[in-house]
Copies of this chain bind each other. A is one copy, B any other.
Amino acid sequence: MRDLKANTDTRERILDAAERLFMENGYEATSMRTITGAAEVNLAAVNYHFGSKEALLREVFRRRLAWLNRERLQALDRLEQQAGGAPLKPSQILEAFFGTLLRMGEDESLGGMTFLRLLGRTLTEPAEFIRTFFAGEYAQVIDRYKLALFSALPDVPKAEIVWRLHFMLGAMSYAIAGTDVLQVVTGCEVGDLAGEAVADDAGDTALARRLAQRLMPFLLGGLRAPLPQFQDLPTTRAAHSGGQQAQI
């Protein structure tokens, strides 16, 4: 019993430390010695429990994404069920997708803002094994939501929907990854922006909630924006009708 306790304890101490340090420094710049030092475990423990540094990163994400993927799919299931075959409203779909994620930021037991920031930053990491991993972990969920948006917006070209989904993911990732990016870009504190003081520790969950409420209108506004016109693009195969509104 103590044996098993120590086992999971060591594993999770490593995962917690790695999650925080990967978020703070990035994957490449975080050494095994830093991780095991912060977790107060032996250096060899990572390779013993996970096999390699790469496998550790994957496990850090698997631990959280298992919940997130399940929750996102369930949220969509619930919406489609209570709609009874009728197409969903885009705002419902975005709420299910982005709202579920941002709710992770409010719950420390799900990783909180630490994991959200890590996720946002890691999505742009160029390492091959990371992109491969995320492709496998994300594909199923993204595909479901893509299809939901397709039938929610039957008059908008599918290519346009995919592009805008990509834009939305970018806006969200930067928003959650970069409180420091925000500082760099804006030269002021997040707390000042929100119009209230934000404590670094406990204020994170409040930050996630406020972020969700600021982000969602922005994303919806972008999604339902007028379609591009491509007037000066001779290479475009089929000319879209100029200034067409996305039917939302």
Chain A 168-204 interface residues, beta-carbon cutoff 8 Å to B: 168-175, 177-178, 180-188, 192-196
Chain A residues in contact with chain B, CB under 8 A?
A: 23-26, 28-29, 120-121, 123-127, 131, 134-135, 138-139, 142-143, 146, 157, 159-160, 162-175, 177-178, 180-188, 192-196, 206, 209-210, 213-230, 233, 235-238
Copies of this polypeptide in the complex: 2
Known: A131-B181, A157-B195, A219-B222. 14 other contacts (CB 8 A): A26-B125, A124-B124, A134-B184, A135-B187, A138-B184, A166-B178, A166-B185, A167-B174, A169-B181, A169-B185, A170-B173, A196-B237, A218-B225, A222-B222
Query: Given the known A-B contacts A25-B126, A26-B126, A174-B173, are A217 and B209 also in contact in the complex, defined by CB atoms under 8 Å?
Result: no
Determine how close the nearest CB of chain B comes to the CB of A57; give it in whole angstroms. 13
Q: How far is the CA of A177 from the CA of B165 in the complex (A)?
A: 15
A164 close to B210 (CB less than 8 A): no
Q: How far is the CA of A133 from the CA of B215 in the complex (A)?
A: 28
B221 close to A223 (CB less than 8 A): yes
Q: Provide 28 A-B residue pairs closer than 8 Å at the C-beta atoms, listed in order of the A residue.
A: A26-B127, A28-B29, A121-B124, A121-B126, A123-B181, A124-B124, A126-B180, A131-B180, A135-B184, A142-B187, A160-B214, A163-B214, A166-B181, A167-B215, A169-B174, A170-B170, A170-B173, A170-B174, A171-B174, A195-B237, A195-B238, A206-B235, A210-B230, A213-B229, A214-B228, A216-B228, A217-B228, A218-B223
Residues of chain B within 8 A (CB-CB) of A143 are 187
Residues of chain B within 8 A (CB-CB) of A218 are 163-164, 167, 222-223, 225
Determine how close the nearest CB of chain B comes to the CB of A89; give it in whole angstroms. 15
Residues of chain B within 8 A (CB-CB) of A134 are 184
Q: Which residue of B lies closest to A198 (CB)?
A: B235
Of listed A171, A214, A215, A238, residue having the most chain B CB within 10 A = A171
Residues of chain B within 8 A (CB-CB) of A194 are 159
Q: Which residue of B lies closest to A164 (CB)?
A: B218
Residues of chain B within 8 A (CB-CB) of A173 are 170, 174
Determine how close the nearest CB of chain B comes to the CB of A165; give it in whole angstroms. 7
Determine how close the nearest CB of chain B comes to the CB of A145; give it in whole angstroms. 10
Q: Which residue of B lies closest to A229 (CB)?
A: B213
Query: Given the known A-B contacts A185-B138, A185-B166, A217-B227, are A236 and B196 also in contact in the complex, defined by CB atoms under 8 Å?
Result: yes
